[in-house]
Amino acid sequence: VTNVKENKDDLEPSCEDLKNISPILFEDSPPILSQHGSVQCEIQQTDPHLQSIDKELHQQQKEANVFGVTAEEAVREMRFRIEQKTKLTASAGIAPNMMLSKVCSDMNKPNGQYRIPADSIAVMDFIKNLPIRKVPGIGKVTEKLLNALGITKCTELYQQGALLSLLFSESSSYHF
């Protein structure tokens, strides 16, 4: 076993990394700062123009307003910024896990958002009438197989778990 000691400098982005950040979506994001409060690029130390940009960015960061105190407000602001920068709309889902967030992002299309509160009752209420086709990983073929068994909603999927474990592979039935 080889011990790897991480150096803090190895974890900080290089100038090359900073150049690859999309200016379209992130031009108003605060820069990645070092302990001294300046953008970490050696070039900025020698170029007067870049030094002035560094000072301007540092001042903007001091004056930066944090948007949104709730998940809904933050997501609304992100969607707004995406539309302002790209002229494209974005839909978003807010939920206790990524799979539910993905399902929620399809709920209020186009250019909407949907939230499931992070409590088990709200999650179960959301899932019980959810069509099985909305579940990531259930495609057209699996949907037809399940429909042939009379399973169209996620509640029925759960209720028929024993049957599904007999008809499908262990891996497939586990994911249902």
List the chain pLDDT tens, one digit each, 176 residues.
444 444 444 445 555 555 554 444 444 544 444 444 444 444 445 566 666 666 666 665 555 555 567 889 889 999 999 999 999 999 999 999 999 999 999 999 899 999 999 999 999 999 999 999 998 888 999 999 999 999 999 999 889 888 888 887 777 766 66
Distance CA 54, CA 42 (A): 12
Give the SS3 label for residue 70. coil
Distance CA 84, CA 22 (A): 15
Which tokens sit at 93? Answer: 């889902």
Could you identify the residue written with the tokens 């599904």?
Answer: 164
pLDDT of residue 137: 85
pLDDT of residue 167: 82
pLDDT of residue 5: 43
pLDDT of residue 170: 77
Beta-carbon-side half-sphere exposure of residue 7 (alpha carbons within 13 Å):
3
Which tokens sit at 3? Answer: 């011990």
pLDDT of residue 1: 43
pLDDT of residue 11: 47
